[in-house]
Amino acid sequence: MQPAVYRVTHQRLALSAVRLGLAAVAFAGSIAAGADPAAAGVGLALGAGICALALVTDRRWLLLGTPKADPLPNDVRRASLARAIADGMLPSTVGVAVLAAVSLVFEPILTAVLAGILAGMGIVSLVSCVEVALWERRSDSQLFADAVVHTRRYVTSSSVT
């Protein structure tokens, strides 16, 4: 069976937009639900800072080793961007967004902190997108991910696609 692939930069850029959009909605919701705007802003900054720090300092890749990318097969099919986004949102983005929605009822400041976590995830995925785009530019190649086996990567020359 031929693999379905998507461009890594396209997925990460779209994920960044979705996460930052969810963060904005959750933040606005926290204020609408009664949180003091200044306190909500501190919660947003705190959540974003802690999340970004945790994601940037994650060293699981040291255990897993440097990911390898195989040459892109000729018979691949393109996975939809919607599928790539959905794959990237589960479970973390969806989980935090659901918690933010539920927390609106109980504690609007917690919603602001969770909005910050969503914003931190969005910022880190945007930075990751830029890093991949710069690597693609330096290597004159494009990086693809398998839509089924998410750890499988493919690379091809920019002039081929």
SS3 144: strand
Q: What is the mean pLDDT of the chain?
A: 91
Q: In terms of DSSP bridges, do strands 77-78 and 153-157 run parallel, antiparallel, or are they unpaired?
A: unpaired
Per-residue pLDDT of 75-129, as tens digits, reads 899 999 999 999 899 999 999 999 999 999 999 999 999 999 999 999 999 999 9
Question: pTM for the complete prediction?
Answer: 0.91
Residues of the chain with pLDDT > 70: what percent?
92
